[in-house]
Structure 1
Amino acid sequence: MSWKTAWRSFYYETADEPEDIVLEAPKTALLVIDIQNTYLELPDDPVEARRWAPFFERMHETVIPNTAALQGWARDNGIEVIHARIACLKEDGRDRSLSQKKPGFNYLLLPKDRADSQIVGAVGPVGDEIVVTKTTDSALTGTNLRMVLHNMGITDVIVAGIFTDQCISSSVRSLADESFGVVVVEDCCAAATRELHEAELRIINMIYCHVVSSDEVKGFLT
C-alpha cells in the first residue's frame, strides 16, 4: 500500500488520492525531534523495563538507524538538517511550559547542559546544523524555528523523531498551521506503544501532513 492510501482515518477513508509530493532541496528541511539520551535510559524498575521494552527495541532497531540514514540522504542532496531537543534553560526548570511541570510521564526536568538532555550521537548535528532547544512540545511554539525556516526560504519540512503522539504531533500541527508542507516519516518515528504510534499517524495524516516511509520520501525530491 502506498502513502496515498495508507494511514487513513475515518475522515479520509473515501477521499481522492492526494497529488504527488514534490520536494525541492533548497526549500526543504529535515527536522529531527527529541531523539535524546534520556529516552534511551532503561528504567530501574524491572516491571517498567519490560513494559517499555518494545519502545526501546523500535528505537534501536528501526528509528535511530533509519533516521541516521535519512539524515545522510538529506545532507547528500542539499536538504537542510535541523535538530530539536527538549530541555530547560534554568537548572530548576522554571522556564518550562506547564505541560512539562505536571506530574507523570510528561514531567521533564532536563537542564540543557546535562548529559541526558543531549541528542543521541548517532543522529546528532554535523557541522553548523541548527539545533533548537524547546521548552514546549511543539518545536515551533517553543523556539525561533518558525523565523529560521522562513529566513532560509524553507517551504516543506520532513519530520522524524519522538514521541509520535506528543512532540511530533504538536510540531506537525504547528507547522501545518503556519502553511508549511509537512511529511512525517513513519519508520523514523515512535511512540511509547505501537498502538499509540499508529493511532496518531492516522489522526494527523492528510490534514496536517502526509505520512510516508523513508523509502517513499526519497522519491519526492526533484
Structure 2
Amino acid sequence: MGWKTNYRSFYYENAPEPDDFVFKKEETALLVIDIQNTYLQPPEDPAEQKRWAPFLKRMNSTVIPNTAKLMTHFRDNGMDVLFARIACLKENGKDRSLSQKKPGWNYLLLPKDSEESQIVPELLPQEDEIVVCKTTDSALTGTNLRLILHNMNIKNVIVVGIFTDQCISSSVRSLADESFNVIVVEDCCAAGSDELHEKELEILNMIYCHVLSSKELTSFL
C-alpha cells in the first residue's frame, strides 16, 4: 500500500497507478495554509474541549512537527515556502467574505494584527517568505497568490495545513482549476475529525491532486 493506491474514491477505484513524480526544484513550492494561533487554543467549554481534543492532539503531535520538518527540507534544498492565513484588513471585519460573517462555527473575526490571526510560533515565516491574507476559504480566490505563483514560475504546489475539508479542499480545487500540479501531504493536514480528514482526501485524490505522506513526498524532492 502507498500513495499510488491509497485514498481511492469510487471514481478512481480501478484507475491505473500514476507514474512517479519528477519535480524541478525551481518550479516547486510549499504552501502552508491557516495553521494559526486561534485554532490551537482549547475551547473554554469542557464538553467542547473533549470534542476537539483529538484534533488538537493531531495538530501538536503530527501536523505541526511534520510541517516544520517539511519546511526545513524545502528551505535546505532552495525551494520556496509560502503561507496563507485568515486575516481581515478592517478591525470590524467588514472586508470579510460572507462565509466568515455568518453565525456559527465558521464565523471568524481575525484582524491582521491580532495575536489570534498569527501563524503558530513553530512555523513562522523566515526572511522574505511570502504570506498572503485571505477572508475566503480558497487561498487563491481572495488573494493575488495565483499571480505570485505564476510570476515565480511555480508549477507544482505542495499543500499542507487546515482544515482538510474546508480551506485545504477549496485551495486545492482552485489550484487545480488554474492548472497547477497539486500534492496534498496527508500527515501535514487535519480536519475537525479523522473521518472528515480521510473522506475529503479520498474526494480530492487523483482528480484535483495526489495525496502523499511527507516521507513519500521527500523521496521525490
TM over 0.5: yes
Instruction: Identify unmatched segments of 5+ residues in structure 2.
Output: none
Distance 1:174 1:112 in 2: 23
What corresponds to 1:132 in structure 2? 132
Q: Residue 189 of structure 2 aligns to which amino acid in structure 1?
A: C
CA apart distance, 1:187: 0.1
**1:162 corresponding residue in structure 2:** 162
Task: Report the equivalent of 1:74.
Answer: 74
Looking at structure 2, the residues matched to 67 and 109 of structure 1 have their Cα atoms a distance apart, in angstroms, of 26
Q: Which amino acid aligns with 2:142?
A: G
Shift of 1:220: 1.7
Q: Provide the C-alpha distance between the structure 1 equivalents of 2:216 and 2:72, rounded to a whole number of angstroms.
A: 15
Per the TM alignment, residue 22 of structure 1 is displaced from its structure 2 partner at its CA by 1.4
Q: 1:94 corresponds to which residue? A: 94
Match of 2:108 in 1: 108
1:45 maps to 45
Q: Percent sequence identity over matched residues? A: 71
| Structure 1 residue ranges without an equivalent (≥5) | none
1:212 is displaced (CA, Å) by 0.2
Letter matched to residue 199 of structure 2? A
Note the alpha carbon deviations across 1:146-202, whole angstroms, 9 max, x for none.
000000000000000000000000000000000000000000000000000000000
The equivalent residue for 1:59 is: 59
Structure 2: distance between partners of 1:43 and 1:146: 35
Number of corresponding residues: 221
User: Hey, what's the Cα distance between the residues in 1 that align with 2:219 and 2:190?
Assistant: 23
**How many Å separate the matches in 1 of 2:31 and 2:23?**
14
- Please give the per-residue CA displacement for 1:58-117, whole angstroms capped at 9, x wherever unaligned: 000000000000000000111100011001110111111111111111100000000000
Give how far 1:121 is off.
1.0
Superposition CA RMSD, Å: 0.5
Shift of 1:46: 0.4
TM-score normalised by structure 2 residue count? 0.99
- Distance (whole Å) between structure 2 residues aligned to residue 12 and residue 18 of structure 1: 11
Structure 1: 4+ residue segments shifted above 2 A? none
**TM-score, normalization: structure 1?**
0.99
**Partner secondary structure for residue 116 of structure 1:** coil
